[in-house]
A and B are shown apart, each in its own frame.
Chain A
Amino acid sequence: MVAVPTIPAPVVERRFWWLLAAGVVVLAAGLAGAWVMEHEGHIATGMNNEIVWGTPHVFAIFLIVAASGVLNVASVGTVFGRTEYKPYARLSGLLCVALLAGGLMVLMLDLGRPERVIVAATHYNFTSVFAWNVFLYTGMFAFTALYLWMMMERRMNRYAKPAGIAAFVWRFVLTTGTGTIFAFLVARQAYASAVLPPLFITMSLAWGTAVFMLVEAGFARWRGAPRAPEFQRRIARLLGIFVALALYLVAVYHLTNLYFAKQTAFERFILLDGGVYPWLFWAGYVLVGSVVPLALVWRAGVTERGALAAAALVTVGAFALLYVFIIGGQAFPLDIFPGYEVTSSFRDGQIAAYAPSLPEVLLGFGGVAAAFVIALVGVQVLDFMPDEGR
Chain B
Amino acid sequence: MSAPNANGTTLTRRGLLAGAAALAGAALAPGVHLIEIARAKTGEPVSSKVRWGLLIDANRCVEGCQKCVSACNEENGLEGGTRPVDVQWIRKVELKEVRTGRKASAPVMCQHCAKPPCVDVCPTGASFKRADGIVLVDRHTCIGCRYCMMACPYKARSFVHEPLTQQKPEVPRGKGCVESCTLCVHRIDRGERNTACAEACPTKAIVFGDLNDPESAISGRLREVQATQLRADLRLDLGVRYVGL
Residues of A within 8 A of B (CB): 40-43, 47-50, 52-53, 111-114, 116-117, 119-120, 123-125, 127-131, 133-134, 181, 184-188, 191, 330, 334, 336-337, 339-348, 352-353
Residues of B within 8 A of A53 (CB): 146, 150
Q: DSSP class of A's interface residues: helix, strand, loop or mixed? A: loop
- Give the nearest-CB partner of A343 in chain B: B94
Is B84 positioned at the interface, with any CB of A under 8 Å from its CB? yes
Task: Report B122-148 CB contacts with A as 1/0, cut-off 8 Å.
Answer: 111110000000000000011111110
Cβ contacts A to B, 11 pairs, < 8 Å: A112-B143, A130-B121, A130-B145, A130-B147, A133-B123, A187-B154, A187-B234, A336-B154, A336-B231, A346-B108, A348-B155
Q: Report the Cα distance A185→B97, complex, angstroms.
A: 27
Residues on B with C-beta less than 8 A from A347 are 84
Within 8 Å of chain A (Cβ to Cβ): is B183? no
Closest to B124 in A: A123
Check if A112 sits within 8 Å of B162, measured CB to CB.
Answer: no
Interface 0/1 of B63-97, CB less than 8 Å to A: 00000010000000000001111111001111111
1/0 contact string of B8-22 vs chain A (CB within 8 Å): 000000000000000
Task: Write the chain A residue with the least CB distance to B82.
Answer: A345
B192 partner residues in chain A, CB cutoff 8 A: none
Quick check: A112 and B178 within 8 Å, CB to CB?
A: yes
Complex contacts, A116 vs chain B, CB 8 Å? 141-144
Query: How big is chain B's contact interface, by range?
Result: 35 or more
A50 to B94, CA, bound (A): 19
Shortest C-beta distance, A252 to chain B (Å), equals 23
Using Cβ atoms and an 8 Å threshold, which residues of chain A touch B143?
111-114, 116-117, 119-120
Contact B159–A346 (Cβ < 8 Å) = no
Residues of B near A127 (CB, < 8 A) are 119-121
Listed residue (A47, A49, A52, A330) with the most chain B CB atoms within 10 angstroms of its CB:
A49
On whether the beta carbons of B93 and A112 are closer than 8 Å, the reply is no
- Contact between B154 and A119 (Cβ–Cβ < 8 Å)? no
Contacts of B99 in A (CB 8 A): 339
Q: In the complex, A117→B144 CA distance in Å?
A: 10
* Bound-state Cα–Cα, A345 to B80, Å: 11
CB within 8 Å for A337 and B95 given contacts A41-B161, A113-B144, A185-B151: yes
**Complexed CA–CA distance, A191 and B91 (Å):** 25
Task: Given A131-B123, A186-B234, verify A52-B162 contact (CB < 8 Å).
Answer: no
Contact A340-B153, Cβ < 8 Å, known A40-B162, A52-B146 = no
Q: A343 to nearest B CB, angstroms?
A: 5
> Contact at A342–B125, with CB atoms within 8 Å?
no
Closest to B233 in A: A338
Residue among B82, B84, B108 with max Cβ neighbours from chain A (10 Å): B84
B96 touching A340, Cβ below 8 Å: yes
Inter-subunit contact A341/B95 (CB<8 Å): yes
Contacting residues, chain B, for A342 (C-beta < 8 A): 93-95
Determine the chain B residues whose CB is within 8 A of the CB of A334 once the complex forms. 153-155
Residues of A near B69 (CB, < 8 A) are: 345
Q: Chain B residues with Cβ under 8 A from A52's Cβ?
A: 146, 149-150, 159
Chain A nearest Cβ from B51, distance in angstroms: 21
A53 to B157, CA, bound (A): 14
- Of B82, B86, B91, B125, the most chain A CB neighbours within 10 A belong to B125
**A-side contacts of B121, CB under 8 Å:** 127-130, 184-185
Find chain A residues with CB under 8 A from B230 CB.
336-337
Closest to B117 in A: A186
Docked pose: A345 CA to B94 CA in angstroms:
10
Q: Which residue of A lies closest to B144 (CB)?
A: A112
* Contact in complex: B149, A49 (CB < 8 Å): yes
Measured CB to CB, the closest approach of chain B to A228, in angstroms, equals 43
* Smallest CB gap from B88: residue in A: A346
Q: Does B152 contact A (CB under 8 A)?
A: yes
Q: Within the complex, what minimum Cβ distance (angstroms) separates A261 from chain B?
A: 13
In the complex the two chains form, what is the Cα distance from A372 to B181 in whole Å? 44
Across the A-B interface, the 9 shortest Cβ-Cβ residue pairs: A112-B144, A112-B176, A187-B153, A48-B84, A130-B123, A125-B125, A123-B124, A346-B91, A52-B146
On whether the beta carbons of B94 and A112 are closer than 8 Å, the reply is no
Q: How far is the CB of B172 from chain A (nearest CB, A)?
A: 14
